[in-house]
Structure 1
Amino acid sequence: MIRKPGRRPGPPRRPGLARSQSTQRTTQSPVVQIDKLSHEVRGIARYPVDGKNKTLFVDNALPGEEVKVKITASRARFDEGIASEIIQPSADRRTPPCPHFEHCGGCAIQYMDPAAQIAAKQQILLDQLQRFAHATPEQVLPPLTGDNFGYRRRARLGVRFVKQAGSRKPQLVLGFREKRSNNLVDITECGVLPADFSAQIPALHQLVDSCTGRKQISHIEVAIGDDATALVVRHLQPLSEEDRQRLLDYVKTRDYHLYLQDDSGASTVWPEQGAERLAYGLADFGLTLQFHPQDFIQVNFDINRQMVSRAIELLDPQADERVLDLFCGLGNFTLPLATRAAEVVGVEGAKVLTERGRENAAHNNLDNIHFQAADLTADFTRSPWARGGFDKILLDPPRTGALEVVRNIATFGARRIVYVSCNPATLARDTAELIQRGYRLSKAGVMDMFPHTTHVESIALFEKT
């Protein structure tokens, strides 16, 4: 659903079940005391196995709790499990409000108080910086927080037909993946989606089930802008005219946009005229950014607005400075930077996004931006657009981080670098590289981009020593 791919950081890579561990042991239910949280926001405990204390990672467990654990996997160096009974709960434990929490893999830590969630994520960031870079920020920034529900503006609802016990024919399942599984959970609501769209999920389920080509529909994407909502229906075979009309009638009555997607891409069905765009605003800068429903955007508009303002404040671009924005996407940071700096160069690997960036620059009457599509894993420092160097640099890489990039940009000698990260482990790795190349970690903090999930979004300021 989002641009930033990569393996989620966790315990050591998991090999197959250790042969030395018996099947009986994996079904044990020990009672343990949770000591702390892992960087996956799982409880960590130690318990006796074969006369030695073994590490146990526990889902649905908080520090200080005494819990009964159902062991789900046994490895050579650690075991995994889930808290099946909370014997002594933490003061930070909350009752998950979502009726699908036990099965849906979307919001894994709804049982945790929101303030405790963000505190845990901040500690994860600081721990990772210390572990991989031996660094502590000179100033820990206050977390950026917003609404815990109704925040998500992008989602993909899977569609499958499953034969269930007691049914003679397969039943439609529409929803998100189960925890640690490729199976789908049939949902009737989703609290992290805006309430008006969440209320439409039963009707959407009924709509798909009414289509004669329903088994050809693999998923439905929703994209919600400030101005409109769009549905992108992915189908494996052409839909009949009757089914197209059913979908069209549905979106017209709700004033949604409709796109149909096959192997050749997505095409608009409704509205029949006008640009295939939604929009979101950045009020602090007087900007409106337009995007296609399948473009990458930050899914939490409130936190995104706060994040952009903080990034610009940290970078502090001046009217006579040249600024580089790497992994710029459609201009989320590039355009705000251009309202402050003399010139901004936005670089992105996906050409379609740089084209969107140019559209947005023109839409907002900004003529001091140059967008460039380039392979950022290669040395770009001698490219024509990089000539003259840069006074300040902002980068917002994918989960894999930007190791090659930080090695290259150090040659520019920029006075400040702002690094926006969705993976504290790769941020920490790249922090070590920047420190080695003459930068100090001035400020860092977390942003609650994805409440109730284990995802950690952070921002860091590096200054030239």
Structure 2
Amino acid sequence: MPVVTIESLDHEGKGVARQEGKTIFVEGALPGEKVEYASYRRKPSFELATAQSILKPSSQRVSPRCAHFGVCGGCSMQHLEPSAQVAVKQRVLEDSLWHIAQIRPEVVFPAIYGPTWGYRYRARIGVRDVPKKGGVLVGFHERRSSYIADMRSCEILPPEVGHKLLDLRALLASMSVPDRIPQIEIAFGDEQKVLVLRNLLPLEASDIEILKRFGETSGFSMWLQPGGPDTVHPIDPDADRLLHYTLPEFDLRLAFRPTDFTQVNVAINRLLIRRAMQLLDPRPGERIADLFCGLGNFSLPISRRGAHVIGVEGSQALVERAALNAAANGLAERSEFQVANLFEATPESLAALGPLDKLLIDPPREGAIAVIKALGENSPSRIVYVSCNPATLARDAAVLIHEKGYRLLGAGVANMFPHTSHVESIALFERA
């Protein structure tokens, strides 16, 4: 079996080695380790492989806490000490900025990090009835596969769910149509816990009773989704249809529906908002736009600091939720929200927002290239960019720096998804 020495980690957490002019990407290997590997895909310039044995382990290697590590595709870095994971993500961010945009931040911000287990307050887990494996499986997909992993527990989900996967399996197996429920969506608020079952067929009365009993004994509010997002509803018609989370530093309470987009890691979200407000420095009298504003996660802290915020979002439902959250927190007079497709932003559509002192951007993985290209001569003096994809951040930063006259004052990571290769980051741009 071939042996290599690992030089670094790539953006997906695979070990990188070079041998005879070819790059070998080895799952389960860490920098500095000498490993035996087996390839599962070969190309002329690279191979994809898995580590078969660790001949010389890294001092940063730890024993994965999860019994399903290596099979489940939910985590790829549990074998690396958590602070080293953060360092790897910071390097991925800096490498992306340099290799894609030829930019280095003037300052590297201290990493934002927090709890590394039981942190995932939002998730979608798959369900599949597999008689050959003993019945109903509940969990994430297997690595490099569409199959559901045979999981008994999950350490990144809150224990109320992560340590109860067998109970969920038994629950679904007792229902009349376990093969027609492909997904469970998990949503935790500060005080509520919701499980949303995607049901492809109507449930029988006996199924509803089974779900009610499970909810009563487990403390979950049980919901169904028979169709699109608009069909989501609690099985108990008297149940509260909104959850909420709080931002104590800003004296805010934000309501949301179980299927609304919210950040998965509550502790990191609070720290990320604090960092964003420190960098943006909202002040009374300023007009600040929050693009891709969602239900007001950054908008309302901006407004709470005294600035007038204009939130823009592509989802009508989220815009309505943001406006209601602003009103509920006494911020309606300093907040306005509107629906727009920001992936089709133009100079005219941005100008229609009125004069802006500052700008916060929090786009999905696709980034915000249309917004960046649409910035004109009177663009905001300061931009805070929250990113969930270093590659699209670097692409957009290249336009800001090389075409729009901004400087990258600083950038750093937030460990929103510990034990995964996902890199969340925040960057500060200022007009030169």
Shared fold per TM-score greater than 0.5: yes
Displacement after TM superposition at 1:270 (Å): 4.5
String of CA shifts for 1:311-344, please: whole Å, max 9, x gaps: 0110111111000000001110001001124311
227-236 or 36-45, which deviates more: 36-45
Relative to structure 1, is the Cα distance of residues 244 and 317 closer, same or farther in structure 2, using a 3 angstrom cutoff? same
Provide the rounded CA distance (Å) in 2 between the counterparts of 1:171 and 1:104.
18
Contact 2:97 2:103 in 1 (8 A): yes
Matched, 1:317 2:282: yes
343-352 or 211-220, which deviates more: 211-220
> Which residue of 1 is the match for residue 325 of structure 2?
360
Matched, 1:438 2:405: yes
Matched, 1:202 2:169: no
Among residues 144, 153, 158, which one is paired with 1:189 in the alignment?
153
Matched, 1:296 2:261: yes
Q: Map 1:244-255; keep pairs closer than 5 Å.
A: 244-255=208-219
Q: Secondary structure at the match of 1:382?
A: helix
Provide the rounded CA distance (Å) in 2 between the counterparts of 1:370 and 1:57.
48
Displacement after TM superposition at 1:199 (Å): 2.6
> Which residue of 2 is the match for residue 30 of structure 1?
2
Provide the rounded CA distance (Å) in 2 between the counterparts of 1:385 and 1:279.
34
Displacement after TM superposition at 1:107 (Å): 1.0
Q: Secondary structure at the match of 2:392?
A: helix
> Which residue of 2 is the match for residue 42 of structure 1?
14
Matched, 1:94 2:58: no
Provide the rounded CA distance (Å) in 1 between the counterparts of 2:232 and 2:126.
20
| Structure 1 gap ranges (5+) | 1-28
Q: Secondary structure at the match of 1:393?
A: strand
Provide the rounded CA distance (Å) in 1 between the counterparts of 2:349 and 2:365.
25
> Which residue of 1 is the match for residue 416 of structure 2?
449
> Which residue of 1 is the match for residue 245 of structure 2?
280
Displacement after TM superposition at 1:92 (Å): 0.7
Provide the rounded CA distance (Å) in 1 between the counterparts of 2:317 and 2:246.
21
377-386 or 319-328, which deviates more: 377-386
Provide the rounded CA distance (Å) in 1 between the counterparts of 2:207 and 2:239.
24
String of CA shifts for 1:51-100, please: whole Å, max 9, x gaps: xx211111111111000011110013211101110000000101101011
32-41 or 310-319, which deviates more: 32-41
Displacement after TM superposition at 1:119 (Å): 0.2
Q: Map 1:322-333; keep pairs closer than 5 Å.
A: 322-333=287-298
| Structure 2 gap ranges (5+) | none
> Which residue of 2 is the match for residue 408 of structure 1?
374
Q: Secondary structure at the match of 2:274?
A: helix
Aligned length: 429
Displacement after TM superposition at 1:350 (Å): 1.1
String of CA shifts for 1:247-272, please: whole Å, max 9, x gaps: 01111223321211112543423443
Contact 1:345 1:385 in 2 (8 A): no
Q: Map 1:107-126; keep pairs closer than 5 Å.
A: 107-126=75-94
String of CA shifts for 1:102-148, please: whole Å, max 9, x gaps: 21000111000001100000011111111111111111000000011
TM-score using structure 1 length:
0.89
Q: Secondary structure at the match of 1:441?
A: strand
> Which residue of 1 is the match for residue 125 of structure 2?
157
Displacement after TM superposition at 1:387 (Å): 4.4
Contact 2:22 2:44 in 1 (8 A): no
For the aligned residues, what is the CA RMSD? 1.5
String of CA shifts for 1:137-175, please: whole Å, max 9, x gaps: 11100000001101000112211122427xxxx621111
The code of the aligned residue for 2:422 comes to H
Among residues 271, 277, 284, which one is paired with 1:306 in the alignment?
271
TM-score using structure 2 length:
0.96
Provide the rounded CA distance (Å) in 2 between the counterparts of 1:354 and 1:228.
23
Provide the rounded CA distance (Å) in 1 between the counterparts of 2:328 and 2:351.
23
